Amino acid sequence: MAGHGKNHHNDHSDWVVTNKMIVQDVLNACPQTLAVFEKHLGSHVLCIPGVKTEAIEVIAAMGDYHEDILLEELNQVCKVQPRKTGHF
C-alpha cells in the first residue's frame, strides 16, 4: 500500500489536495505549501483563526479568491519532496 515505509511522511505522490481539506491539515502534511498559501491568500493567512478548522474553499472564499489555481499549485508543490536540511 502506498504511504508505508520509512519515507511515508514525505511521499505525497498519491496524495491530492482538495478544496474540502482543512488548511492546517495541508500545512501539517506538506509544510512547503505555506509559500503557496501566502502567494495566493496573503502573508496574513496563518493569522486567520479559521485555518485550523476551515476548508480551503472557505478560506479562499473569505479572501474572494478562486480556488482552482491555488489547488493546482498546492498539488504541484506536494508532489515534490522537500529539500533536506540539517543532519537528517
The predicted pLDDT at position 83 comes to: 55
Task: Please classify residue 73 by burial: count the beta carbons closer than 10 Å to its beta carbon, then call 0-12 exposed, 13-18 middle and 19+ buried.
Answer: middle
Whole-prediction pTM: 0.74
**pLDDT value of residue 64:** 86
Using a 10 angstrom Cβ sphere, with 0-12 exposed, 13-18 middle and 19 or more buried, the burial of residue 5 is exposed
Position 75: which residue type? N
CA distance 73 to 75: 5
**Residue 62 near residue 33 (C-beta atoms within 8 A):** no
Domain locations along the chain = 23-79
Residue 74 has pLDDT above 70, yes or no: yes
34-62 pLDDT tens trace: 999 999 988 888 888 889 999 999 999 98
